[in-house]
């Protein structure tokens, strides 16, 4: 087991970027202090061949200019907040708009664009990332302190989130890694199988804002048994077409089965199990990834090249499901834990 650190360039603001490599006997993970980005996860296929299974870019300049949040820590909020308006305890907070009329992933200068403080954990193979977000940054209330632990344990990458605030606020954090189990981007995700412990999903409108909780039965969103992703992505379901032919929807997790989220590539033999304490996951199938350009000198990023599992609270909770919104207060910190478990 080892941790290596090396300089990985500077940002446009002349901030130093470092890459931290965590390695054990099963897997290797690269993490940047810029955005807390998970840049690589290298795991074996059924023949023991080690390959990267997440989408990435070659330089810090590329991440700043054209990354669709590849591997980033997302906050203060995951997803969109309608009309960029946060209603909390009778107060209205006007947030910065960075997705039409809405706030997306926390706004313009969100957590995915910041340089995080990094400490190497002494008792684990892992890192502690931290930052502070002042009151009314991007319009959000409260002076907030965030800590995120990345821990490598056997075949698991564990992400632990912890946040405190000096006044009531809304925190809804996640990680935005795009997975592709083929290895080194050999294929898109169409040949992979998805299974979810989920009886309901949330339909969205043209702005990808939540509008209605629906049952998955008899829809393209029924993944209670393993489903080949191509059959869902190519569906004529109006909810598939409304987000440019794919998934970009919240799923309500039932937490009844051991495997809440399970992705499998039968060709490579790799599989990914996602275990979380969160009530929902937004699944995004990279419907606009053709806008990214080259992933490297050999590979052009295409539509459906990767899939995200954004474990989180309910989307746009304070507007759509206020009784489900989890409010962070000085007495009640924000706590979240998600595990990514790889097998072959």
d(CA 332, CA 164): 8
Q: Which of 137, 192, 273, 310 is catalytic?
A: 310
d(CA 268, CA 225): 20
d(CA 341, CA 156): 4
Q: Where are the alpha helices (DSSP H) in 181-327?
A: 229-233, 238-241, 317-320
> Is 289:305 a contact under the CB 8 Å cutoff?
yes
**Distance of alpha carbon 211 from its chain centroid, rounded?**
22
d(CA 114, CA 148): 14
In the DSSP assignment, the letter for residue 116 is: P
Residue 122 burial (C-beta neighbours within 10 Å; 0-12, 13-18, 19+)? exposed
* Beta strands per DSSP E along 220-279: 227-228, 248-252, 261-264, 271-276
Q: Which of 176, 192, 264, 304 is catalytic?
A: 176
d(CA 1, CA 183): 23
**Residue 249: active-site member:** no
d(CA 342, CA 43): 8
Q: Which residues are catalytic?
A: 176, 310
């Amino acid at each position: 087991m080892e941790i290596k650190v090396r300089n990985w360039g500077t940002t446009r603001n002349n901030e130093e970027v470092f890459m931290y490599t965590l390695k054990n006997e099963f897997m290797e993970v690269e993490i940047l202090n810029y955005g807390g980005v998970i840049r690589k996860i290298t795991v074996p296929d059924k023949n023991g061949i080690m390959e990267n299974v997440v989408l990435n870019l070659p330089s810090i300049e590329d991440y700043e200019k054209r990354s669709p949040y590849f591997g980033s820590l997302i906050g203060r909020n995951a997803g969109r907040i309608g009309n960029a308006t946060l209603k909390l305890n009778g107060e209205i907070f006007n947030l910065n708009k960075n997705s039409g009329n809405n706030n997306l992933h926390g706004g313009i200068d969100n957590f995915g664009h910041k340089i995080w403080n990094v400490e190497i954990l002494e008792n684990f193979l892992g890192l502690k990332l931290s930052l502070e977000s002042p009151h009314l940054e991007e319009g959000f209330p409260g002076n907030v302190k965030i800590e995120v632990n990345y821990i490598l344990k056997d075949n698991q990458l564990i992400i632990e989130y912890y946040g405190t605030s000096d006044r009531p606020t809304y925190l809804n954090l996640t990680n935005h890694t795009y997975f592709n189990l083929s290895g080194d981007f050999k294929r898109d995700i169409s040949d992979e199988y998805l299974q979810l412990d989920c009886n309901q999903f949330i339909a969205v409108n043209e702005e990808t804002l939540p509008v209605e909780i629906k049952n998955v039965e008899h829809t393209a969103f029924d993944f209670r048994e393993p489903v080949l992703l191509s059959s869902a992505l190519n569906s004529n379901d109006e909810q598939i077409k409304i987000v440019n032919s794919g998934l970009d929807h919240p799923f309500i997790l039932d937490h009844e089965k051991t495997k809440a989220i399970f992705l499998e590539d039968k060709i490579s033999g790799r599989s990914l199990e996602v275990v979380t304490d969160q009530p929902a996951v937004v699944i995004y199938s990279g419907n606009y990834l053709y806008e990214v350009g080259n992933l490297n000198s050999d590979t052009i990023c295409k539509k459906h090249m990767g899939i995200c599992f954004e474990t989180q609270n309910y989307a746009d909770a304070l507007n759509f499901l206020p009784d489900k919104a989890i409010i962070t207060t000085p007495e009640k910190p924000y706590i979240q834990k998600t595990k990514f478990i790889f097998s072959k």
